[in-house]
Structures are given as structure tokens and as C-alpha cells.
Chains A and B, each alone.
Chain A
């Protein structure tokens, strides 16, 4: 039997890697991919808790998270396309047009 803590450590590592990607990379597409990575890390821990507590509520939450992740990807990528049309760059530190 695999202990619950193994799943939790795995989920924490995936979450931290996603956060590293989000905070360190310049490419806005990779930053969005890192957000998906963080959501996946959370999903792992929710499904693990759901299994070890013999309760399906965690999996209902995962279901909702996947729905929100799909919405976030659609909206986020539309924003990237709209941004790219205004200024042909994917580097976040070059997008400072709103600064006064």
C-alpha cells in the first residue's frame, strides 16, 4: 500500500515546479502551461485525499477544477493572441504598455 504522504509530496513537488515556471520564465505561453502544471499538482492531492478518506467530494472538486482549467486555457490563449496582434512578442517583461 502506498502511503498518502507520498502522493502529497508528489503533488507539492509538481505544484512548486509549476510555480517556478510561472515566476521565472519570460515566455507567456510557458507561463500558462505552468499554471496547468500547478492545477495538476492540486488535482493529484485532491484525488489522493478522496481515495484515502473514502469520500467522492474530492473528485467532484477535481471535476470542477478541470472545467475551470479548460475555461482558463481558452480565455488565456485568446488573450495571448489578442496581445500578439497588438505587439508581436510573447515576452512578459516587454509588455508594459499600460504603465503610465
Chain B
């Protein structure tokens, strides 16, 4: 057991534990806060995998933007009395069976996975360029069109969110 494996074990354990807590807590605020801890540990795993930029945007975008949005909406809706209600849908055993069988289907072929052709961005190459520069080079050359399309998706999301949550004006005569 090397030090790397011990650290991986710690982060994996916390990620699994907090994911479990996210889906089992009754109070949505608690779920969101456990999710925050999970995001930080996932970011630490990304640092392990030499992906500093991805780890940074994991914290900035997920923890800083998305979770704050969730907390705002939960506070806006004021769900105090819903906490005491039944938390599962009536058909929950079906969902359990589907999720577990898909999990089994993912675990079975895992033993046979072999990585394919090595690319040119090894640890050494990324170290020479720094990770952000290396990722930027790939993103702005080979993947320029998907990158621009991502901005379009975000624009649609901004406009859509404003349109959807705007209060509708009362039509005369209704």
C-alpha cells in the first residue's frame, strides 16, 4: 500500500459516503452541503490526475455557482413542512432494481478494460507547458467549434432561465 493508494482510498471513501448522504438526507439544504464536501474531494482527485485547471473549475463552477443557485432556490421555495413527508416515490423498488442492474452492467466489463493508443500529452509534456496552457492549446485548435457551441449553450441557458422564471402578466378578461 503506497501513500498514493492511501490518499486515493481516503478521497474515494469520502466521495462515496457524501454521495450516499446527498441522496438520503431529508432536508435539501443538508444534501446541498454534503454535495459541497463531495465536490471538493472530487477536485482533489483531479489534482491527483494532473488536471489542475479542471480541479479549479470544478470548485469555481460547481461549488461556487451551481450549488449557490440550488441554495437560493431552496431558500426561495421554503420547504419546511415537506421535510416530514414520505421521501420516496411509490415505485421505488423498480428504481432500485434498475439502478443496481445498470451498476452491475458497468462493473462486469471493467476487468477487461485496456487503455488504447497513448496520446502526446504525458505528465512531462504537461509539466513543461503547464496544464492550463496545454488544455488551452487543445481547446482552441482541435476543439474550437465545440468550445464556441458551449458559449451558445450558456447563452440559451441565461435567456431560458430569465424567460422561465419571469412572472407572467395577467391577460385582460381572465
The number of A-B residue pairs with CB atoms under 8 Å apart is 243
| Interface of chain A: mostly helix, strand, loop or mixed | helix
Q: Is the beta-carbon distance between A59 and B51 smaller than 8 angstroms? A: yes
Q: Is the beta-carbon distance between A66 and B57 smaller than 8 angstroms? A: yes
Q: Which residues from A are CB-within-8-Å of B73?
A: 29, 77, 80-81
Q: Is the beta-carbon distance between B113 and A54 smaller than 8 angstroms? A: no
Q: Is the beta-carbon distance between B87 and A43 smaller than 8 angstroms? A: no
| Interface of chain B: mostly helix, strand, loop or mixed | helix
Q: How many residues of B contact A (CB 8 A)?
A: 90
The 0/1 profile, CB within 8 Å of A marked 1, for residues 82-123 of chain B is 100111111010111011101100110011010111111111
Q: Is the beta-carbon distance between B42 and A40 smaller than 8 angstroms? A: yes
The 0/1 profile, CB within 8 Å of B marked 1, for residues 77-96 of chain A is 11111101100011111000
Q: Is the beta-carbon distance between B8 and A67 smaller than 8 angstroms? A: no
Which residues in window 7-26 of B have CB below 8 A to A?
A: 8, 12, 15-16, 19-20, 22-23
Q: Which residues from A are CB-within-8-Å of B42?
A: 40, 43-44
Q: Is A1 an interface residue (CB 8 A)?
A: yes
Q: Is the beta-carbon distance between B165 and A36 smaller than 8 angstroms? A: no
Q: How many residues of A contact B (CB 8 A)?
A: 74
Q: Is the beta-carbon distance between A6 and B12 smaller than 8 angstroms? A: yes
Question: Nearest Cβ in chain A — how far from B85, in angstroms?
Answer: 7
Q: Is the beta-carbon distance between B49 and A55 smaller than 8 angstroms? A: no
Q: Is the beta-carbon distance between A56 and B87 smaller than 8 angstroms? A: no
Binding site for A on B (CB under 8 A): 2, 4-5, 8, 12, 15-16, 19-20, 22-23, 28, 31-32, 35, 38-39, 42, 45-46, 48-51, 53-54, 57-58, 61-62, 65-66, 69-70, 73-74, 76-77, 79, 82, 85-90, 92, 94-96, 98-100, 102-103, 106-107, 110-111, 113, 115-123, 125-126, 134-135, 138-139, 142-143, 146, 150, 153-154, 156-158, 160-162, 164-165, 167
Beyond contacts A7-B45, A75-B161: 14 other A-B pairs, Cβ-Cβ < 8 A, are: A14-B19, A20-B95, A23-B95, A24-B96, A25-B23, A33-B22, A33-B23, A36-B35, A49-B115, A54-B119, A54-B123, A56-B135, A57-B142, A66-B62
Could you name 7 residue pairs across A and B whose Cβ atoms are closer than 8 Å?
A16-B102, A20-B96, A23-B95, A26-B88, A33-B31, A48-B49, A92-B89
